[in-house]
Amino acid sequence: MEDEFSTENIQLLLKKAVTVLAAHLGADHSSVHVVTRIVAMKVKRMCRNLRLSQQRRNNRTETAFPSALMHALQLENFRNVLDLEKFYRMRIVAYQRRLLALCAQKYAEAVKTFAECKGNEEANKQTTESEPQQSPPA
């Protein structure tokens, strides 16, 4: 069976995904290449473990796990599929909430600072209007 994606398309897609995640985490652009290579290696290993586990199940030699996915995840140090959901909630969703809270806080600070600056400008304008203008010395 032929691959649905070419190797270069997979690398481009993976690089784009890693770049987006690295940007969200505030990582430097120079680390994207290294992280992409690490993630590619992990994904390949996970797929290889998944294929081997499924082959064992087909040969009826693997009975310790309820599914091939559970076995592959165990080999990658995930206890079960729920760990992926927990990881998603703790890292992705919580990060987004923290980021939104930080943005709201910065926005409130900016509005307050802007109001103070505008108030200072109006106060300065009123004091300059109330002072008599002096003619420059000749």
Query: What is the pLDDT of the chain when averaged over all its residues?
Result: 78
Phi, psi dihedrals of residue 109, rounded to the nearest 5°:
-65, -40
DSSP state of 76: T
Global pTM reads: 0.48
CA distance 32 to 12: 12
Reported as a single tens digit per residue, the pLDDT across 32-41 is: 777 777 778 8
What are the boundaries of each domain within the chain? 1-78, 81-123
pLDDT-derived band at 104 (thresholds 50, 70, 90) equals: very high
